[in-house]
Structure 1
Amino acid sequence: MPQPRTTTTPPPLPATVWLPGPRDSEISPTAPAILPPWAIGKIRTEFTRRPGRPPAPFLRLAISDTDECMDARTLCTQDTNPDHSHNASRTTPVLLAELHPSTLPTADVCSQYGSDEQGAIDDAWPGFFHRAHRILRGNGLLLLATRQRRDADRLTDPLGLLVAAARTAGFRYLQHIVIVHGHPVGDRIVPAPPDDAPPGLMHSDLLVLRAQGSRS
């Protein structure tokens, strides 16, 4: 008799709004980081630890510009959590890229992403997503942390442009998580924005993307 087909159920996605807990201090991230330390710890818990398997390696990129040879200037650190065993180094890492608002693409740039395949490989933002996809092929996770920026005295939201660029490179959008810069007091939230945040901003954004297949 034919054997029944088995399927692997992906782990459930975490909550879409994150607040610091009672014991988490709201420490402003140091430039060029975007997320506070408590949020980094929560990312480690939610995305790198898998029941019955070694934790996935956790790589952090702090991207401060997208000019030519950006990779040589991008600060990269690897998680040093003692839970990471030798076998974990053989698994696909979880890649967190913290994007400073000044590096975010504009609509004029993103409208050209699909117009020239060679340009999509070589240019700054498209090139970053293609290189990340090569690292994470095989269902690896790319997490993009960023926040709104102020242009012409208005807050602009870059998330749609980033998702479009990531999809062009072969990523699938999974989730948008709001990282609140504040702490609950009774029935309200007391804002605690980063030092370099524009007026009116009290959250950062975390996009969860999964690499799909291979790009030739």
Structure 2
Amino acid sequence: MSARAAEPLGIGAAPDMTHQAPLGNTHGHNSPLPTTVWLPEADEPNTAPIPGCVLPAWALDKVRTDFVGHPGHQPVPLLKIAIRDMGPGATARIPTTAFTTHTAQGDALKRMRILLAEIHPDAYPVPGEPLSSSAPDVPGIAEDGWPGFFHHAHRLLPDNGHLLLATRQRRDSGRLTDPLGALIAAARTAGFRYLQHIVVAYARPDGDGLVPVPPADASPGVAHCDVIALSVIRHK
């Protein structure tokens, strides 16, 4: 695996559900979407993500191999971005890292069909507040805040592209907050289909149980992160 240095983009406990479903599996309107729990291998030495990241390295590798069902389990190209704020002009400041399958970059970005957005808890939308800092009647609102990010991502990805949102809960006034509902709604408005929810445990297997290994920068009580898989919808 090779990773390119970061550059601007320019544009609680895990639930007891272990159902595994392939990427792209969708259900009827009233049926539950597939949920998968990911655990590291028993001999994985680094079970927690490094500070500032949401996904552990082993989970990132799993995204690039098992998750997309790529033939031969060869890693697919992936563009990872780190969202640390969503203020005005945020999409032009988002750092990116390109993970490719070879050292020669060439047009690697053009071939990428997976965009992984790791969202820092400080960038979460505030419950009850609009997802954009612009007033609803201001032209170009789609380019601002979270709506702007999802529209930029939709334009960046190809027709067979996927957007993955990696998040974890944050503790506010003693309560853990979860941004997934608001983010999924904004993504759907921008033209994405919600495919799957993956729970990545911050823990390591120990016999028949699990030993929590939370990141040092996580809120107390957070023992996992969530990955939301979305696919591009385009009407031709």
The residue number in structure 2 matching 1:59 is 79
Q: CA deviation at 1:199?
A: 1.1
Query: Deviation string for 1:6-62 (max 9, x for gaps)?
Result: xxxxx923970000002322343234311111111111113456228x964210001
1:147 corresponds to which letter in structure 2?
R
**Deviates most, 84-93 or 169-178:** 84-93
* Residues in 1 aligned to 2:153 and 2:108: alpha-carbon distance in whole angstroms: 19
The residue number in structure 1 matching 2:40 is 20
Q: 1:50 to 1:89 in 2, by over 3 A?
A: farther
Q: CA deviation at 1:205?
A: 0.3
Tell whether 2:174 aligns with 1:153: yes
Tell whether 2:184 aligns with 1:163: yes
185, 208, 221: which is aligned to 1:200? 221
TM-score in terms of structure 1 length:
0.82
* Residues in 1 aligned to 2:57 and 2:75: alpha-carbon distance in whole angstroms: 19
SS at match of 1:16: strand
Percentage identity across paired residues of the two chains: 49
* Residues in 2 aligned to 1:31 and 1:169: alpha-carbon distance in whole angstroms: 31
The residue number in structure 2 matching 1:186 is 207
Q: 1:16 to 1:117 in 2, by over 3 A?
A: farther
Q: CA deviation at 1:120?
A: 4.1
| Structure 1 ranges of 4+ moved more than 6 A | 83-88
Q: Which structure is higher in RCO with an 8 Å CA cutoff and minimum separation 6?
A: 2
SS at match of 1:168: helix
Q: CA deviation at 1:122?
A: 2.3
56, 60, 69: which is aligned to 1:40? 60
1:125 corresponds to which letter in structure 2?
W
The residue number in structure 2 matching 1:100 is 120
**Deviates most, 101-110 or 121-130:** 101-110
Cα RMSD for the two superposed structures: 3.0
Q: 1:49 to 1:77 in 2, by over 3 A?
A: farther
Q: CA deviation at 1:106?
A: 2.1
TM-score in terms of structure 2 length:
0.75
Higher Cα Rg: structure 1 or 2?
A: 1
